[in-house]
Chain A
Amino acid sequence: MSRTFFTALFLIWCGVIMAVYALVMIPAGSGVEARLPSAIFELRMIILPFFTQGSSL
């Protein structure tokens, strides 16, 4: 694996981790959640149950 390729993969990985973290951590019912673009809100609704199974936030 070349250095450039690994660096690119690593940066994408960091971006994905931080994006998922941001989507999961937005407080439910908050103003931030209300202002999310619909596509991102949908994405949040797909990801969230994976880490909140059986619970209500």
Chain B
Amino acid sequence: MILGNALWSLLAMVAHLCACLGVGSLFWRLCRFPKTDRELVLYASQYLLGFGILAAIFTILGLAGLLTSFPTLGVIVSGLGFFALGILKGHMPRPEVSWIVREWGAIWHLMIGLSVTALFIGLGLGAWLIPPFGDAEAYYLVYPKIIAATGIIEAMHGPYGFFSTVGITGEVQFAALMVLADQWAAKLMMFPIAVAGGVFLASIVRSAGGGQIAQTLSWAIFGSSTTVSTYVFDGKVELVAIAFGLAAIFWLFRGFHAQLDRRDAILAGLFGGLATVTKFSLIPTLGLSMAVLLIWRIWAAAEPNGHSVGPKKVVTFAKVAAVMTVFALVAWLSQLLKNGVVFGAPLAPFLGMPEGAAILDQTWFSPEVTRHILATYPIALVFGRYPMQGGGLSPLVLALVPLAILLRPKWAYLRSPCGILLVAGCVAVIFWMIFRPSVFAPRYFLVSLLLVIPTTVMVAERVLLSETGGRFLRWGVTFTAILAIVAAFWPLRSLPALMVNRLSPQADLCAGASVHCPPLQELARVGETGARIFMAGYYAYHLRPDQLQCRDSNAESRAIWSQDDPIAWLEERGFKYVFVDLVSHTALAPLLRAASLDRAGIRLLQETAEFEVYEIELTDASRTSCRLDQHSRWYVTEH
């Protein structure tokens, strides 16, 4: 049974993957989108296109309250049908792996390739076995858990209600996989997404002229960047946006020696739209990088000797940019619909809701710390360990940079295909440094940041293959790459124990989980169905779905701090349990502790160094309770 559950989550994820491929492949043929010379890129493109389409379908189902077992299964089975039809009719790209053997070179190259492969397998297992942690426990898996339990997309219950105005391309897929299987299937979905991202990055390197060594090194940098690897297994959806963004860059950049094909521009617009709707911070950064690449393509790439700014080229630029924008907006339609239906403000959080500034205009650090961060760019991108940063780039980037000295770089390099990627990336990063200096999180502009990698790896490849690169240099690079990859394995060291636990008859549900898991699991075990919980803490994931629906609202989570008698207020609002995170919500604990000693009707239920849980004996004075409606959804009602 245990093994059956574990395999079911794996099977559900594979079915979802094939359904995305089936739908993506169908639309690819219907829209007559172009083929590529490497089938893996076509697979990744069709997968991401299908992913975006299924996300829109699930969003519409969710808004209608139909994201339940049968409709969800129907969508997945239909996708599987398209996938099977595609295979039977020979429309699916044939997996072509002979280039791996054909283009493989020396033993040191093979060693880097095998290490990268092992790392990605480890990350996939991590996605399958490591419980969600961090922001995933607060929002990214909590919202899907509620949607999966209720079948409807509403504003998220609790203090993150307003945050659910952001795009939910990844979250709604998590919800669908939770409906079909469980959280493990949902988390595992990030593995093919990460692989798709790696495929596009390597393909951008290849399009820029990089060979097999440069592509392998780009995989090594991608996988060993903690701002990538962490998001494969933590339960967040960051990589969905990154994969879409890299796909957009690839389709805009490929075939740069000729005029930009109309369908390539459409695909770039679609993937760009999907990237920006999934992660709003990519609107300015990815937008800038794509604008630089588009300008370069129209003015320079197709005719290297004709750099005139003629009116004809301005018109061409305007036309292509308009086409891309229109198709980017197509990708935003389900988001506009969702916010229109749920919040009555289609353009939220940008327009129509005053709380929008809380999401869009953030300041994380003091001016002194911000100045320090800016002064330490770009090494802070690799070594930085700031709160909320969410990982950094691979140390391999910094390690390989000195090799550029050997090539005696000239300014003309910046007009080359690889150089223009560097410019497109740096322009966006500098933009972020100027306009959001205090928000130091490489993931917010990761697509643009990754555009420095083609230069890094292609320089390394040229040196390693030239006479300058001797045996020691090659082994030095190999050893450094393997060390960087080994470092990325560090968070995965508990995998064997987690695997044994998962397959054991009495699996510990909190094995490998954060400190929030045991007290919340206990509360989920003992808590009465439909009893209200006041969560004085951020990370509610491990509560039951009914508890998540009956928890404190955004207004209540703030109102408690202005009450003269918080205990009486909690009783009045019908809260049966109070969970206090002593690290983040310290102020509430002394009040509750004193009340539990002095007053009847409130008692300490659980106590650890980090948390306290109180139970309140409710009286008739409660004006609020949580009730089940005819659709088996819990709603807080006033008496």
Q: Which residues of A are at the interface with B, using a C-beta cutoff of 8 A? A: 3-4, 6-7, 9-11, 13-14, 17-18, 20-22, 24-25, 48, 50-57
Contacts and interface: CB of A to CB of B under 8 A. Distances in A.
A6 B467 CA distance: 13
A3 B476 CA distance: 14
Contact of A51 (B376, B402, B473): B376
A55 B369 contact: yes
Nearest to B371: A53
A21 B382 CA distance: 8
B480 A14 contact: yes
Contacts of B398: 17
Given A10-B476, A18-B480, A24 B383 contact: yes
Interface string B383-398: 1111100000001001
Contact of B372 (A6, A17, A18, A53): A53
Interface string B463-476: 00000101011001
Contact of B385 (A14, A17, A18, A24): A24
B487 A17 contact: no
A21 B372 contact: no
Contacts of B382: 21
Given A48-B385, A52-B386, A18 B476 contact: no
A11 B387 contact: no
Given A3-B470, A14-B399, A53-B372, A20 B476 contact: no
B329 to A, nearest CB: 39
Contacts of A21: 382-383, 395, 484, 487
A47 to B, nearest CB: 8
A51 B384 contact: yes
Contacts of B470: 3-4, 7
Contacts of A52: 384-386
Contact of A7 (B365, B395, B472): B472
Given A7-B472, A25-B490, A13 B383 contact: no
B473 A10 contact: yes
A49 to B, nearest CB: 10
Interface in B446-475: 468, 470, 472-473
B618 interface: no
Given A7-B472, A24-B383, A25-B487, A53 B369 contact: yes
